[in-house]
Amino acid sequence: MTFDVKERIWSNLKNLKDSDIRFNGIGVAHDLSPGQRDEIKKWVEQAKRDHVSTSSDGAENYWFWVVGQGPRMRVIKILKNLSCLMLNARSLVNKIDLFQSTVCNYNPDIIGVTET
């Protein structure tokens, strides 16, 4: 099966979920050949080695996932334990010291600020 045919099938799978009730609960996953699985393992192992050589943070703190297909295939690195801080920006100017203190104390990976 060529890459184009596989891509056309994957792009039309969204139609399956809206179809007849008989097809509810059907899951579809990429079927990889043993060679493709070996290639993905090599990519992940190389990404872990690269991470260890360039970072003081251990590779065990990250998930390494191969995403994309064909020439767009790449490895992404996701921190296993992300900490998030969500704040309301209403009157934030009056509470800037509290905001800075909270950020310094919790040292979040992601900060979300909303305004009501």
- pLDDT tens, residue by residue, 2-59: 778 877 877 877 777 677 777 666 767 667 788 888 998 999 999 999 999 998 888 8
Q: Decide which of 73 and 91 is more confident.
A: 73
1: pLDDT confidence band, cut at 50, 70 and 90? low
What is this structure's pTM? 0.50
Q: Which of 16, 18, 68, 15 is nearest to 39 (CA)?
A: 68
- Whose CA is closest to 62, among 49, 84, 80, 83? 80
